[in-house]
Amino acid sequence: MKRIIQKLTVAACFVATAFTVQAQNADEVFRAAGSPHDPKVQISFNRYYTAEGLAALGKKIADAYPNLVKRVSIGKSYEGRDMWMLQITNFEKGDPDRKPGFYVDGNIHSNEIQGGEISIYTAWYLTENYGDIDFVTEMLDNRIFYIVPTINPDARNNYMQEPNTGSSPRAGMIAMDDDQDGLFDEDLPDDIDGNGSITQMRRKSPTGNMIVDPQDPRKMIAIGVDDNVPADVVRYEFLGQEGIDNDGDGQVNEDPHGYYDPNRDWAWKWQPDYIQRGAYKYPFSVPENRAVADFVLAHPNIAGGQSFHNSGGMILRGPGAEEDLSTYNRADIRIYDAIGEKGEKILPGYRYLTVYKDLYSVFGGELDWFYGSRGIYTFTNEIFTSFAYYKNNEGGRRGGNLSYDVDSELLMGDAFEPWKTFNHPTYGEIEVGGFKKNFGRATPGFMLEEECHRNMAFTLYHAYHMPNLSISNVEEKDLGGGLKEITATISNDRLMPTHASQDLKYKIERPDYISIAGVDVQAGMIVEDADFGVTTEQKVNPAKLEVANIPGDGFVKVRWIVSGKGKYTITVDSAKGGLVTK
């Protein structure tokens, strides 16, 4: 415990340093391409931050850029922590609630931490580069980002501050009775060597099937059926992860935190635990997910979404289960494919995949709820791939030596805890060692900023292709008798339509409205074919035409027959496409 406290104290000092370091004088630095040249907020992106650290960074960004950032809590976690969101746009231009919105979150699985840093990096990059990079300026003038760095703050802290493996805890912190003995979370892993990580236990045994690699004392080698092991070579047996039998039931580490999976809790194709392992009581029974859902339901302007997990280097789209295959139709898949395939270019080593087909079945997943229930084009990125360790990652480096090579060649031995002897209350003399929890799934510090930037670039590409509407042409024709024909062309020059096919199928969101004011409207119609004069008249309230959809990279034409003189105004009102007036 003393060692853990010391490590946390050092980590706190690092965080404090990251907050307080001041910018250097202009004559001491040279701007790197694509990076802020004089950031108001100094952040080190070669480390990870606790939930409180992320919150403090978010506050610094919001305080530095009050015209670009609003920091709000969208709810409370199970343990009562605020779930902080950064709403980022140019608040001095247009109504922020009427701009196309892009939602970003990270860290739904507590050990999958990189999403927190990617989210903060995205907020930092957008704000620091507004006014310097035209692309960023245009984005924040016309779009709004809703960024929640961690939607599992309780368990993020548990992963970082308590003994864990690289894969624990995955759930949140709601206590459960995993072994059904009437007790809750009573047999957690035990940090025998006090290094903050749960590694492996091994024991010398004359019948063991492992030996120490004579070329590398860190590594164990399995004894093959045809291997002749000399009598003087020590054999070992593995005993599993560090731990003791805390409750005296003859099992070790059998009742850890959880287990429920927050990414099996969403209200789309949800299935109970006996079908979908990890499901909790009912859809949105996890309070953090409920907070996200309530926010999204209250913001129909959200057109795109991105969540960050780890690991494996994947850009994932739904469906999560083959039973849901018909939900994703051909028109929307073309849009997913265009963005996902661009992601493979932006993120070297990443693969664009479909969850059910290329990974495994998921019922009640977040990305399926966003698309299936709300018609929001959504991706999940599994952050980090071993491809990044060595650019020519071929041959033996893809085998069992890769982690050991990285530890010795790139991390100078910092990733592996050497084997040490301990006296175990059940097993007697054992040895404890292995890879630490911050290695394997979590991107190493020296690679983290690149990981943040590339994933942000993919996110911004996705956000760029949300609907972008304009009234591109207005034509007038005198019909005589005081009547005039006004035809307006409404263009959308981005990939996404104002309504996904799923949205149209279930009428999730209201139609788009195209209206005219300042004249007396006698008739209103949608132009189906301008060449042949085919129109569909809207007889009720013709001044405010209802349009089912404005397609991506396409347009719609509308027409009114009006009387009266003077100036008139045409307005396009789309929930996901925004508000445009001419």
pLDDT(23) > 70:
no
pLDDT tens profile 53-66:
999 999 999 999 99
Question: Number of H helices and number of E strands within the chain?
Answer: 12, 23
- What is the pLDDT, as a whole number, of residue 346? 98
Backbone angles phi, psi at 508, to 5 degrees: -65, -45
Higher-pLDDT residue of 397 and 257 is 257
Rg of the chain over all Cα atoms, to the nearest angstrom: 28
pLDDT (average), residues 126-150 = 97
- What is the pLDDT, as a whole number, of residue 120? 98
Q: In what order do the strands lie in the sheet with 534-537?
A: 469-480, 483-492, 554-563, 520-529, 534-537
Opening angle at CA 21, ends 17 and 24, nearest 5: 155
Which amino acid is it at 387? F
Burial of 126 (0-12, 13-18, 19+ CB in 10 A): buried
Beta bridge partners of 310: 383
pLDDT tens profile 222-237:
998 888 888 889 999 9
pLDDT(13) > 50:
no
pLDDT(18) > 60:
no
For 530-553, the DSSP string reads TTTTEEEE--SSTTEEEES---TT
Which amino acid is it at 89? T
Q: Supply the mean pLDDT for the chain.
A: 92
The SS3 call for residue 497 is: coil
Backbone angles phi, psi at 69, to 5 degrees: -135, 135
CA 17 to chain centre: 27
Residue 361 CB neighbours (<10 A): 18
CB–CB of 38/26 below 8 Å?
A: yes
- What is the pLDDT, as a whole number, of residue 15? 44
**pLDDT classification of 39: cutoffs 50, 70, 90:** very high
Residue 250 CB neighbours (<10 A): 8
- What is the pLDDT, as a whole number, of residue 248? 77
pLDDT tens profile 63-83:
999 999 999 999 999 999 999
pLDDT (average), residues 43-51 = 97
Instruction: Please name the residues in contact with 129: beta carbons below 8 A apart, sequence gap of 6 or more.
Output: 36, 136
Higher-pLDDT residue of 251 and 257 is 251
CA-wise closest residue to 302 among 500, 75, 128:
500
pLDDT (average), residues 516-525 = 97
pLDDT (average), residues 419-443 = 96
pLDDT(208) > 70:
yes
The pair of structure tokens assigned to 410 is 């790139």
Backbone angles phi, psi at 71, to 5 degrees: -105, 120
pLDDT tens profile 557-567:
999 999 988 89
What is the residue whose two structure tokens read 């979150």?
Answer: 105
Lowest-confidence range among 8-12, 228-232, 366-370?
A: 8-12
Q: How far apart are CA 197 and CA 162, in angstroms?
A: 8
pLDDT(151) > 90:
yes
What is the residue whose two structure tokens read 């849901």?
Answer: 324
Report the percent of the chain where pLDDT is more than 90: 84
The pair of structure tokens assigned to 581 is 């007036």
- What is the pLDDT, as a whole number, of residue 259? 83
- What is the pLDDT, as a whole number, of residue 392? 64
Lowest-confidence range among 18-32, 98-112, 484-498?
A: 18-32
- H or E element in which residue 433 lies: strand 428-435
pLDDT(24) > 70:
no
pLDDT (average), residues 512-540 = 96
The pair of structure tokens assigned to 259 is 């287990």
pLDDT(220) > 80:
yes
pLDDT (average), residues 429-444 = 97
pLDDT(29) > 90:
no
pLDDT(526) > 50:
yes
pLDDT tens profile 154-198:
999 999 999 999 999 999 999 887 667 677 666 678 899 999 999
pLDDT(9) > 70:
no
pLDDT(11) > 70:
no
**pLDDT classification of 27: cutoffs 50, 70, 90:** confident
pLDDT (average), residues 280-306 = 98
- What is the pLDDT, as a whole number, of residue 22? 53
pLDDT(254) > 80:
no
pLDDT(143) > 90:
yes
- What is the pLDDT, as a whole number, of residue 399? 57
Q: How far apart are CA 102 and CA 460, in angstroms?
A: 9
Lowest-confidence range among 6-15, 191-200, 370-379, 402-411?
A: 6-15
- DSSP 8-state assignment for residue 396: G
Q: Is the peptide bond before 259 cis (omega within 30 degrees of 0)?
A: yes
In angstroms, what CA-CA distances link 450 with 118, 324, 388, 454, 567? 10, 35, 10, 6, 53
pLDDT(16) > 50:
no
pLDDT(84) > 60:
yes
CA-wise closest residue to 318 among 331, 330, 334, 336:
336
What is the residue whose two structure tokens read 């894969």?
Answer: 167
Which amino acid is it at 85? M
pLDDT(365) > 90:
yes
Q: How far apart are CA 147 and CA 152, in angstroms?
A: 14
- What is the pLDDT, as a whole number, of residue 455? 98
The terminus-to-terminus CA distance of the chain in angstroms comes to 66
